[in-house]
Amino acid sequence: MYRTTMHSPELLKGSLQTIILKLLADNDRMYGYEITQKVKELSGGKLVLTEGALYPTLHKLEAEGFLKTEKVHLGKRVRKYYHLTPVGKNSVVQRIEDFEAFISTMFKILSINPQLG
Amino acid sequence: MYRTTMHSPELLKGSLQTIILKLLADNDRMYGYEITQKVKELSGGKLVLTEGALYPTLHKLEAEGFLKTEKVHLGKRVRKYYHLTPVGKNSVVQRIEDFEAFISTMFKILSINPQLG
DNA sequence: GTGCGATACATTGGAGTCTTATGTAATACG
DNA sequence: CGTATTACATAAGACTCCAATGTATCGCAC
């Protein structure tokens, strides 16, 4: 997926949108590069987003109405800030619930006790 | 992935191999249809494997040396039992550790408290 | 004795998601 | 000034899974 130092990158498939939406729910507005750095920080370096995964996903979430953008000029450079739309805000709650349901089901199948930290 | 009543089937991508290997670690030998039923049972009906996902995955795991098969004749029908190879047994432990590491990282990013059951 | 649901295997085409590679360009810093 | 970092982006391809389809047997009710 988005490059990881863990052994099974496939596991992460499908969670990138959830990660992005959650970060934007916590931080009001962020730009692409900032998201990659925040993920690296929060995961203790275990998760490193590639741009090839990030930007197409941001564009898709925007096209689907979950995100809005505003361009900010910094000297000659243009930075694109993303923030949640009202629809986006609702979907964050839903997606985290879905993720928790998924984990709960996987714990049952894999016989994992639900108190790992 | 393998059809689910949850809202985000994409989340499950990448975990099918882990599920299969774990079931075979717990049950010594199983055949395809039996695996679909066991997953349905363990997940409380939330996860339903499709054959289009299951059989290619079983064949792939066999080709990679994680599984071996034995054919059992039942009247005119042939049932294919799968069981873990020694390599397969080692990989189960590894994959579950990877899965737990993934969950741990996701919990950090999504600010989820690790005591949902 | 037959029709139907369940059992049991399998393949194919396609959608979706991510990776690798590549491209462009500005800024910071030594 | 050259190199790492910041910052955007796209394109080709791999990989995983789903939906659809195919074949065939078995158990049971009617």
Instruction: Check: CB of residue B48 under 8 Å from CB of residue B3.
Output: yes
Is residue A76 assigned to a domain?
A: yes
For residue B1, the model assigns a pLDDT of 40
Q: Which nucleotide is nearest to B30 (CA to C1')?
A: C8
Range of the domain at B78: 9-110
pLDDT at B9 exceeding the cut of 80: no
Is residue A64 assigned to a domain?
A: yes
> Tens digits of per-residue pLDDT, B32-85?
999 999 999 999 999 999 999 999 999 999 999 999 999 999 989 999 999 999
For residue B6, the model assigns a pLDDT of 45
For residue A3, the model assigns a pLDDT of 56
For residue B7, the model assigns a pLDDT of 45
For residue B70, the model assigns a pLDDT of 96
Is residue B89 assigned to a domain?
A: yes
Q: Percent of chain B at pLDDT above 70?
A: 86
Name the residue type at position A3.
R
Q: What count of Cα atoms within 13 Å lies in the side-chain half-sphere of residue B75? A: 1
Q: What is the CA A51 to C1' D9 distance in angstroms?
A: 9
Among A99, A5, A106, smallest CA distance to B43 is for: A106
- Among chain B residues, the shortest Cα distance to A11 is held by B14
Q: What are the chain A neighbours of B19 within 8 Å (beta carbons)?
A: 106, 109-110
Is residue A4 assigned to a domain?
A: no
Is residue B115 assigned to a domain?
A: no
Is residue B62 assigned to a domain?
A: yes
- Among chain B residues, the shortest Cα distance to A97 is held by B7
For residue A13, the model assigns a pLDDT of 72
**Yes or no, beta carbons of B115 and A116 under 8 Å apart:** no
CA distance B99 to chain A (A): 7
Most distant CA pair in chain B: distance in Å? 55
For residue B40, the model assigns a pLDDT of 94
pLDDT band at B12 (very low <50, low <70, confident <90, very high): low
CATH (domain of B20): 1.10.10.10
Q: What is the CA A78 to C1' D7 distance in angstroms?
A: 8
Instruction: Check: CB of residue B14 under 8 Å from CB of residue A11.
Output: yes
Is residue B116 assigned to a domain?
A: no
Q: What is the CA B75 to C1' D29 distance in angstroms?
A: 22
pLDDT band at B113 (very low <50, low <70, confident <90, very high): confident
Q: How many domains does chain B have?
A: 1
d(Cα A11, Cα B14) in Å, to the nearest integer?
5
Residue A28 contacts B where some CB pair is shorter than 8 Å: no
Report residue A52 CA to chain centroid gap: 14
Is residue A34 assigned to a domain?
A: yes
CA distance A1 to chain B (A): 10
CA distance B104 to chain A (A): 6
For residue A40, the model assigns a pLDDT of 94
d(Cα B29, Cα B90) in Å, to the nearest integer?
16
Instruction: For A8, list phi and psi in degrees, rounded to 5.
Output: -125, 80
Chunked in runs of 10, what are the mean pLDDT values of chain A (117 residues)? Answer: 52 86 97 97 92 97 97 93 97 92 92 71
**Yes or no, beta carbons of B11 and A102 under 8 Å apart:** yes
Q: What are the chain A neighbours of B26 within 8 Å (beta carbons)?
A: 111
Contacts of A98 (CB under 8 A, 6+ apart): A18, B6, B7, B8, B11
For residue B114, the model assigns a pLDDT of 74
